Every structure is written in structure tokens, then in C-alpha cells.
Amino acid sequence: MWPFGKKVACFQCDAKVKLASTKLRRGFRFCSDACVGAFLAANVLRPRPGVPESDYTNQAVMELGAAVGELNRLLGSDGVTITGSAGSILGAISAAQAMQQLEDAKDAVFRYNDHVTNALPFLYALGRQADADYLECVDLEEIQDMSALGAGPMQNAKVRRIVRPVAERVARIAESL
């Protein structure tokens, strides 16, 4: 079903708002910047206890690398490579990921979101506010709503158009850490 005109409840204040006019943040929909702000203030992300500060960068890179890996499942041969020191951190993971069975796109997007959520506390702790802002606002719902993923070349082109810029941006963030 195409979601134009659909109404959803603001995650913060419960107001019913048109989906098209909502603001997406961490996968939740909000009616206004004020509600986004209130939500972020009440839900500050911090690295889990026990992770030494010296490991924050590696943790963030590994989660972002895994996130790119999930998007690469959707992109197939058009996948994005992570280079530089981030790429060397990821060497072991990429090999393991390549062995994993290809699952459907919904699961891949779900796991992408998981990895991004895991990376966010480290990005905040590392002072990467702009990168965290970007990641919190990425909207892949359109992919998850596509029922016939992989059904034909048109559909695949649409997936690539949506996913590739995100994969590239996440890879660049990992490389810059």
C-alpha cells in the first residue's frame, strides 16, 4: 500500500499527523522539531559500560561496517567498499559476512538499523554529532515496504537509487573515524 495521506501518531506527543509531514528520527516519527528535541533529550545514547574509551572508534567502525554490509546485500555487485584504516579494521568481519546466507531485504534493513543503533552511542561519545544526525534521519522504510524486492530490474534500480547513497555515506563515516 502506498502511504500517501496516511496518518501516524507522533512518537513523543501522540498527536496524529500526516505521514508525509513527519520527521523521522531513530526510526520513529515525530510531528515537529520540538518533539524530536524532547525525545533526543530524554533518550541520550551513551556507550555501554565496560567498553574502554580507547575502543570507541573500533566499535563504531565495526558497527558501521556491518551496517554497510547489510546495505551491500541489497546492492549486490553494486556494493560499497570501505577503504583505509577502517577497511583494515573490518577485514575479518567482511569475510565472515560474505559467508552469511543472503536473506530478504527486510531483514537486512532491520539488521542495518540495529548496527546503526549500536554505533550511535560511540559516535556521540566521539563527538560526531553531524554523522549521528545523518544516521538517525536515514529513511529506508520505502525499502521495507517494497513487497516485490528483487522481482525485476526496475525494482532493483529503485533499491540501488535509495540504498547506494546511504551505503556510501556510512562507509565514508566509518573511513573518517
| CB 26, min distance to Zn ion, A | 15
Distance, CA of 145 to CA of 123 (rounded, Å) = 29
DSSP secondary structure code for residue 140 in this structure:
-
Interface pick for Zn ion out of 8, 25, 31, 60 (rule CB under 5 A): 31
- Give dist(CA 130, CA 9) in Å, integer: 27
**Segment contacting Zn ion by CB under 5 A, of 3-11, 90-98, 100-108, 143-151:** 3-11
Which residue's CB is nearer to Zn ion, number 27 or number 79?
27
Burial per residue of 57-93, b for 16 or more beta-carbon CB atoms within 10 angstroms, e otherwise: bebbbbbbbbbbbbbbbbbeeebbebeeebbebbeee
CA-to-CA distance for 139 and 147, rounded, in angstroms? 17
Least Cβ distance, residue 6 to Zn ion (angstroms)? 17
In the shown chain, the binding pattern of residues 34 to 73 toward Zn ion, with x for contact by CB under 5 A and - for none, equals -x--------------------------------------
Least Å from the CB of residue 32 to Zn ion: 6
Contact residues for Zn ion (CB under 5 A)?
10, 12-13, 15, 31, 35
